[in-house]
C-alpha cells in the first residue's frame, strides 16, 4: 500500500482569451507559462517545481472550458495579499471578497479577466 497523499494534484482555469489571461496572471503573480496543446486544447501551464509542496495547473482554452464565478475555487498563495489583490485590480480584475482574517490566514477573492472567481491566501506570521 502506498503512502497517503493530498487528493488534489492538478487544476485547470477556463479562459476564452489565453493571451489576455497569461498577461493577467503574469502581471499579478509574475508567473511564466509553458504553452502546450493537450488533447486538442490550448493550455498555458503554470510553473511546477517537483521539489516544492503544492500543486500546479494550467490556463485552458477550448469549447469545454467555461469561465465561472460559481464553480470550484482555486486559492493562490501570496506573501503580500494586499499587494497581490491590488495588482489584480490594476490589471483588470475586480474584488469579490476583501482581505479577511479567517483565523488561519488572510484570504481574499477576485474575478480575473476571464470571469473566474480566484482566491488568495496569505498565512499568518507567528509572533
- Domain residue limits, the chain: 10-123
Instruction: Write out the DSSP string of 77-120.
Output: E-S-HHHHHHHHHHTT-EEEEEEEE-SSEEEEEEE-TTS-EEEE
Q: What is the pLDDT of residues 33-90, one digit of tens each?
A: 999 999 999 999 999 998 888 899 999 999 999 999 999 999 999 999 999 999 999 9
pLDDT tens, position by position, 7-18: 889 999 999 999
* pLDDT tens-digit readout, 117-126: 999 999 987 5
Confidence of residue 6 (pLDDT cuts 50, 70, 90): confident
**The model's pTM:** 0.91
pLDDT at residue 78, as a whole number: 97
Torsion-angle region of residue 40: left (phi > 0), alpha (psi -120 to 50) or beta?
A: left
- Using DSSP, state whether 53 is helix, strand or coil: coil
What pLDDT is stored for residue 126 in this prediction? 59
Percent over 90 (pLDDT), the chain: 86
Query: Tell me: the pLDDT tens digits for 58-74?
Result: 999 999 999 999 999 99
Asked if 69 and 115 touch (Cβ cutoff 8 Å), the reply is: yes
CATH topology of domain 10-123: 2,3-Dihydroxybiphenyl 1,2-Dioxygenase; domain 1 (3.10.180)
User: Is the pLDDT score of 127 beyond 70?
Assistant: no
Amino acid at each position: 500500500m502506498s503512502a497517503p497523499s493530498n487528493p488534489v494534484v492538478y487544476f485547470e482555469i477556463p479562459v476564452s482569451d489565453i493571451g489576455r489571461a497569461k498577461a493577467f496572471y503574469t502581471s499579478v503573480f509574475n508567473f511564466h507559462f509553458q504553452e502546450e496543446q493537450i488533447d486538442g486544447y490550448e493550455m498555458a501551464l503554470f510553473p511546477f517545481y517537483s521539489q516544492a509542496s503544492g500543486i500546479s495547473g494550467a490556463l485552458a482554452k477550448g469549447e469545454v472550458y467555461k469561465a465561472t464565478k460559481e464553480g470550484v475555487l482555486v486559492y493562490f498563495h501570496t506573501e503580500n495579499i494586499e499587494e497581490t489583490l491590488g495588482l489584480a485590480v490594476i490589471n483588470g480584475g475586480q474584488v469579490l471578497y476583501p482581505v479577511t482574517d479567517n483565523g488561519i490566514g488572510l484570504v481574499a477573492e477576485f474575478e480575473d479577466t476571464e470571469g473566474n472567481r480566484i482566491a488568495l491566501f496569505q498565512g499568518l506570521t507567528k509572533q
